[in-house]
Chain A
């Protein structure tokens, strides 16, 4: 833990110190990240991914023959702060490339600034489709959109001939899109949506929702969640003895803390993830090893997405042999690559279309990737026993 503190302070100190002594020839890359506030946890992983990418680029001789230097500020998880910071990065620090912040709301706000100055932003951790429906030209997406988070859950349900699904979600940008996508997928595949309700952010008591669901007895329950609500719904489902044949959550189910808090209750629960370190992607082993060496902890998908997005951006710079936003955009729209984070390809909006989600299930305290079949580590345990027998 100490090292991360030190790292962040170092960045802040560097930023403060170098503001007065411009180092010539350095290629400055800017980003704001939530290092404090609600998103601090995933934000930290994002920052670590970026800094590892910076180190590796410099180890290989930099970009366009210049050393790169990342300038990263803390946006306190607040969109207005991010707006201010990207103004600062672009107009005062004169960064030549910009990387995205963490989370959809912050990216939504920050990208209005980069768009205004015609700076191409590689958005590494925004999954909400509507961000790419605003007609922005200089915004490229790295991770899979929210709508397909639970594709695996629906797929597996169809495979087993399950007929009904209940969907709940937190009423925020990302979770809502995830729920909407799940509902559409289910309908398309002939699974009947028997229940859908949203709850406000910060809800801790889900009993009213769950009792309604219990009376409908759906085969599948899908939750568009962040971390705290995912833990609470799971716990309360057990207390109220709500027994769907399959139950999956969008975010939260993939963090080690999920199992640490729930223990045996987490068994059989499905969770989705943008990335797992066991996946057969090119360079993934080196990435995990280097990351652990640099930061003394395992990377999670936020780290991998930040790292992968940054690598793709660097690749586009090399191919364009220029820092011009229009040329970079052209390259990024053409590019089809696989990094340690997986596949990359975007459509003409800059919207991600190649990257794949994975679904995992907690089995005996381990997170086992069970979908898609091509990269699965094991078979999903099915049928799910009722709560008393887990």
Chain B
């Protein structure tokens, strides 16, 4: 019982520290933390579908972008409060996931990955095309944001919500069924699991949070345009962070996003031109030496519970 209590109190201390951080940290620290929270939420969302079911989504940034545009348009055209506009970003993201997930989740293996990759390109092209509404290639400019501290708490809350949800899933039957799909989908079906429906549920959940994050991001960055909210690189970063920390775990994405963000921030400022090479080498190293991610290795070595 005591290591459990220790871990819990450590978690509480970290949370309390983060809660008061904006009162002590500089604007830079707050801004940096917002981006770390953003990555935690994104990597955590990707984990919900890809980490659990093994269906690798290469187009997850589409949900983020759709959320960002929804948020930006609701703020500028409808005069909504940014918090509501950000939360509303989840709705079109979920709708998109439903429409795409229903047929595409029946595709297996690489076909699903490719379909998702295509989805992002299609959404980006559509956003560019409806120029009267979305501003086309020049995007939408929002009023400048006066304080980023509220965004800090909002983004932090999303990151926390994703993590809690992941914990909830991993500790219930739903999570076990999802994992069974990842390990052997046919066997899962034979055992009477309605894999198509479960995959769709997981996919919907994994789309909702990027939508919200996108909405908050629009407010934080004050500008959205197709190039900045639909880059493939964002999806790849989510995947790397999740794999680095440990896919299919609760704290893996949190750990991956946190460590890699800090690492990049430190290395990149000092070794401008080699940092990408260092970063790449690190990722290759992790994938080769510990394919289950940091947390996966720790779980194995120290017999930690599966539910962290």
- On A, residues with C-beta under 8 Å from B are 5, 8-9, 12-13, 15-16, 35-36, 73-74, 76, 78-80, 83-84, 87-88, 90-92, 105, 108-109, 112, 115-117, 128, 130, 134, 136, 170-173, 175-177, 198, 200-201
8 of the cross-chain contacts (CB-CB < 8 Å) are: A9-B272, A79-B221, A80-B228, A84-B32, A87-B27, A87-B30, A134-B143, A172-B138
B145 part of interface (Cβ distance < 8 Å): yes
Taking CB atoms and an 8 Å cut-off, the chain B residues in 20-63 that contact chain A are 26-32, 35
A44 to B277, CA, bound (A): 20
- Whether A84 and B138, one on each chain, are in contact in the complex, defined by CB atoms closer than 8 angstroms, is no
B192 part of interface (Cβ distance < 8 Å): no
Taking CB atoms and an 8 Å cut-off, the chain B residues in 194-246 that contact chain A are 217, 220-223, 225-228
B268 part of interface (Cβ distance < 8 Å): yes
- CB-CB under 8 A from B137, the residues of chain A are 170-173, 175-176, 198, 200-201
- Whether A201 and B227, one on each chain, are in contact in the complex, defined by CB atoms closer than 8 angstroms, is yes
- Whether B276 and A36, one on each chain, are in contact in the complex, defined by CB atoms closer than 8 angstroms, is yes
- Whether A176 and B138, one on each chain, are in contact in the complex, defined by CB atoms closer than 8 angstroms, is yes
B136 part of interface (Cβ distance < 8 Å): yes
CB distance from A158 to the nearest CB of B (A): 28
CB distance from B210 to the nearest CB of A (A): 15
Given A87-B28, A136-B144, decide whether A8 and B273 contact each other with a Cβ distance below 8 A: yes
B302 part of interface (Cβ distance < 8 Å): no
- CB-CB under 8 A from B128, the residues of chain A are 171, 200
B89 part of interface (Cβ distance < 8 Å): no
- CB-CB under 8 A from A134, the residues of chain B are 141, 143-144
Among B141, B225, B272, point to the contact of A36 (Cβ < 8 A). Answer: B272
A8-B272, A73-B269 are known contacts; what are 9 more A-B pairs with Cβ within 8 Å? Answer: A12-B272, A79-B221, A105-B225, A108-B222, A115-B144, A128-B138, A134-B143, A171-B136, A171-B137
A134 to B90, CA, bound (A): 28
Please list the 7 inter-chain residue pairs (A to B) with the smallest Cβ-Cβ separation, ordered nearest first.
Answer: A171-B137, A88-B28, A91-B27, A91-B26, A112-B144, A87-B27, A87-B31
- How many residues on B have C-beta within 8 angstroms of the other chain's C-beta atoms? 36
- Whether A79 and B228, one on each chain, are in contact in the complex, defined by CB atoms closer than 8 angstroms, is yes
- Whether B28 and A173, one on each chain, are in contact in the complex, defined by CB atoms closer than 8 angstroms, is no
- Whether A112 and B27, one on each chain, are in contact in the complex, defined by CB atoms closer than 8 angstroms, is no
- CB-CB under 8 A from A74, the residues of chain B are 268, 272
B125 part of interface (Cβ distance < 8 Å): yes
B293 part of interface (Cβ distance < 8 Å): no
Among A9, A16, A116, point to the contact of B146 (Cβ < 8 A). Answer: A116
CB distance from A114 to the nearest CB of B (A): 10
- Whether B141 and A92, one on each chain, are in contact in the complex, defined by CB atoms closer than 8 angstroms, is no
CB distance from A227 to the nearest CB of B (A): 16
- On B, residues with C-beta under 8 Å from A are 26-32, 35, 125, 128, 136-139, 141, 143-146, 148, 217, 220-223, 225-228, 268-273, 276
- Whether B272 and A109, one on each chain, are in contact in the complex, defined by CB atoms closer than 8 angstroms, is no
Given A172-B137, A201-B227, decide whether A80 and B269 contact each other with a Cβ distance below 8 A: no
Question: Which chain B residue shows the least CB distance to A17?
Answer: B270
- CB-CB under 8 A from B27, the residues of chain A are 87-88, 90-92, 117
- Whether A15 and B222, one on each chain, are in contact in the complex, defined by CB atoms closer than 8 angstroms, is no
Question: Which chain B residue shows the least CB distance to A94?
Answer: B26
CB distance from B40 to the nearest CB of A (A): 15
A175 to B136, CA, bound (A): 12
- Whether A105 and B35, one on each chain, are in contact in the complex, defined by CB atoms closer than 8 angstroms, is no
- CB-CB under 8 A from B223, the residues of chain A are 79, 105, 108-109, 112
- Whether B144 and A16, one on each chain, are in contact in the complex, defined by CB atoms closer than 8 angstroms, is no
- Whether B228 and A105, one on each chain, are in contact in the complex, defined by CB atoms closer than 8 angstroms, is yes
CB distance from B177 to the nearest CB of A (A): 37
A253 to B29, CA, bound (A): 42
A105 to B143, CA, bound (A): 15
- Whether B269 and A91, one on each chain, are in contact in the complex, defined by CB atoms closer than 8 angstroms, is no
Given A79-B228, A87-B31, decide whether A112 and B145 contact each other with a Cβ distance below 8 A: yes
- CB-CB under 8 A from A91, the residues of chain B are 26-28
A28 to B146, CA, bound (A): 24
CB distance from A307 to the nearest CB of B (A): 22
- CB-CB under 8 A from B227, the residues of chain A are 105, 172, 201
CB distance from A10 to the nearest CB of B (A): 10
Q: Which one of A92, A171, A201 has the highest number of Cβ atoms from chain B below 10 Å of its Cβ? A: A171
- CB-CB under 8 A from B26, the residues of chain A are 87-88, 91-92
Question: Which chain B residue shows the least CB distance to A108?
Answer: B223
- CB-CB under 8 A from B35, the residues of chain A are 80, 84
CB distance from B11 to the nearest CB of A (A): 26
- CB-CB under 8 A from B146, the residues of chain A are 116
CB distance from B152 to the nearest CB of A (A): 12
- CB-CB under 8 A from A8, the residues of chain B are 272-273
- CB-CB under 8 A from B273, the residues of chain A are 5, 8-9, 36
- CB-CB under 8 A from A116, the residues of chain B are 144-146
Question: Which chain B residue shows the least CB distance to A15?
Answer: B269
A171 to B13, CA, bound (A): 48
- CB-CB under 8 A from B29, the residues of chain A are 92
Question: Which chain A residue shows the least CB distance to B224?
Answer: A79
